[in-house]
Structure 1
Amino acid sequence: MDELPPLVRRAHTVAERLGFPLTRDQSGPSASLPGVGRFLAVLAAGCADGRIGELGTGVGVGTAWMAGAMPVGCELVTVELDELRASAAREVLADEPGVEVITGDAFSVLAERAPFDLLFADGGKSDPAALVGLLRIGGRLVVDDVTPTQLLPPDSPYRTDDPKRRIFFTDPRLVSTEVVLPDLRNSLLVGTRVR
């Protein structure tokens, strides 16, 4: 289970070359953790003839997980604001049919290509409530870089009011859950659009 798929290994190599962090340390962007990547691969594998969107490509680690698992006929559009990172991701994904790496404002670009079967918000200050509108009915929204509630400091305001969790669990358009990753230190929020 620790073995990485070849495309993900290639993305890791590029990330290391550029000094792009492969672990989450709360101080800035990092690559998708393996637990997140495996989860995304499972969802992408079921995206037959569908469309996947990603906000925040980084250097393409999360994208590589999804691209390596998605079936033929599926499209993946990933958007990165930073040109250096986007260029690195293009290098990683150059041989992947159906994958397009775009430099620009992710929400604006993806809004023009909606609706999506799977949407991974992996960076920036994206508003999950606005992202729900980019999903088709039955489409899934995934947000990572969430700290499980039990690991938050006792005085953390996120224990009682986390804006991300609030949107996922109160938006009537979504049926949602929080998935704690195998490392037990990170989790992600997943919602399926039902209306």
Structure 2
Amino acid sequence: MTTQRADARRNYARILAVAEAEVAAHGADASLEQVARTAGVGSATVRRHFPSRRALLEAVFDQRIDALCVRATDLTVADDPRAALLEWLTALTDYAASARGMADALLPDGAGDTDHVNACSARLGSAVDPLLTRARQAGAVTDGVTTTDLIAMVTGIALATEQRPDPAAEAHRLLSLAVRGISPDPGGTAPGGTAPGGPTASEGPTKRA
């Protein structure tokens, strides 16, 4: 019995890891059959752990939310609050741009689904609030910008670019433009002295947008 439980846990973890890679490569249309083949299990095993495509997508979504929350918590001790916030926004953009179709696939279709989405949003917001607060205190973000604003901004960018030939590159270009919009910069220069044509957030956490 213990061996069976251990095997089930390993299968679950393997299926979820493969599913995340498939979603990154193919979006919400990732094939459950391909997930099963790549994970080295039968389709029945996949469906035993995840009865529907939606259940599998929700599990992938939840796992990525967990990772983004951990990333946000880790970044709260970074020396540069502005760079820390930009690094997290870049990570969120990376995921949002790769998870094509996830927004439509996870649209609430019932009260239970709404509760799930709201719980994930609340969890993500709670993890990011300290990052935004530190950036605001450092003068890197204008007053009035909220965590909800930032998540909505990245979600909108991902939805607007998912049909482009290179969604990730276009998403990061738009993120760079948006970052300048939330920065307290009346003279047209991003915080830290970088001109509008300078490095972007997608060039790495050590660069200035």
TM-score, normalised with respect to structure 2: 0.26
Question: Which is bigger in relative contact order (C-alpha 8 A, separation at least 6)?
Answer: 2
Which structure is larger by alpha-carbon Rg, 1 or 2? 2
Which structure: greater helix fraction? 2
